[in-house]
Amino acid sequence: MNHLDAFERDGYLVLDLFSADEVARMKRMLSALIDPPSSRRHPRLYVHAASESPLPRLDPYNPYAVWKIVNTPLAGDDWYALVHDRRVLDVVGELLGPDINFHMGFARLRPSGLRAEEGWHRDLDTDRHTLPELVTALIYLDDMDAESGATLVWPGSHRHDRPAPDDDEAVAVPARPGSVLFLHCLTAHRASTNLTTRHRSILINEYKSARTTELSPNDAAFGDLPLRRGGRNLVEL
């Protein structure tokens, strides 16, 4: 079964794309943004933290319990280059076609013990567009399973409009550092709580076909940035 068949059947796809060295580099990039969170370099780089001072007994990697960072491509050249990663764009091209735009980039973090309150949702409910042609690429920087804050998905939910799954329909997506989850914008999913003692991190970039248009205002720093036309990258980094 090829990538597109699996994606159309399940509404998501998991692939191992990044090496251990690349993951270590991305973790260093992220660490520079979260310790301390007030040291961000750009006024539209929004760092959401649970505490304004270091918390005792918390993983020293994320002492302020940062749980979300919005507009990560503004954090520097390395972050901007990640948007253009050819391996990710090749898969997105298989799923959406040869003409691709960028939508937005952010990071989701799972500090130990910080409860995930996000409920079941579909990305198109908030990122409203004229066509359901968006794919979110979630890059995992740590091992993820049901105990460590794995993303929960509802396979096949992109093909119907039921609001939430029964208990036996939800699936925790296992991932290793360097795995990428490609998620259809109509696939219902939610965060889960990290029950381990270790911090967990996910970098997230959203892509869309060039022919879909956003219907609601968004503070995405690079919304509608053209990335590929006819299957060719417009910018080589």
Q: Check: CB of residue 145 under 8 Å from CB of residue 174.
A: yes
Tokens 């996000």 — which residue? 118
Terminal alpha carbon distance of the chain: 32
Q: Check: CB of residue 30 under 8 Å from CB of residue 107.
A: yes
- Residue 53 pLDDT: 83
Rounded to whole angstroms, the Cα distance separating 37 from 48 reads 8
Tell me the pLDDT of the chain (237 aa) as tens digits. 589 999 999 999 999 999 999 999 999 999 989 877 656 678 889 999 888 888 776 677 788 889 999 999 999 999 999 999 999 999 999 999 999 999 999 999 988 766 666 789 999 998 899 999 999 999 999 999 888 888 999 999 999 999 889 989 999 999 999 999 999 999 999 988 888 878 889 999 999 999 999 998 777 888 899 999 999 999 776
Tokens 């699936």 — which residue? 171
Structure token digits, residue 168 = 């036996």
Rounded to whole angstroms, the Cα distance separating 202 from 179 reads 10
- Residue 1 pLDDT: 58
- Please report how many Cα atoms fall inside a 13 Å half-sphere around the Cα of residue 218, on the Cβ side: 21
Rounded to whole angstroms, the Cα distance separating 137 from 88 reads 8
The reply to whether the predicted model has a pTM over 0.85 is yes
Q: Check: CB of residue 117 under 8 Å from CB of residue 229.
A: no
Rounded to whole angstroms, the Cα distance separating 203 from 185 reads 17
Q: Where are the alpha helices (DSSP H) in 65-201?
A: 77-83, 86-96, 123-126
Neighbour count for residue 209 (Cβ, 10 Å): 19
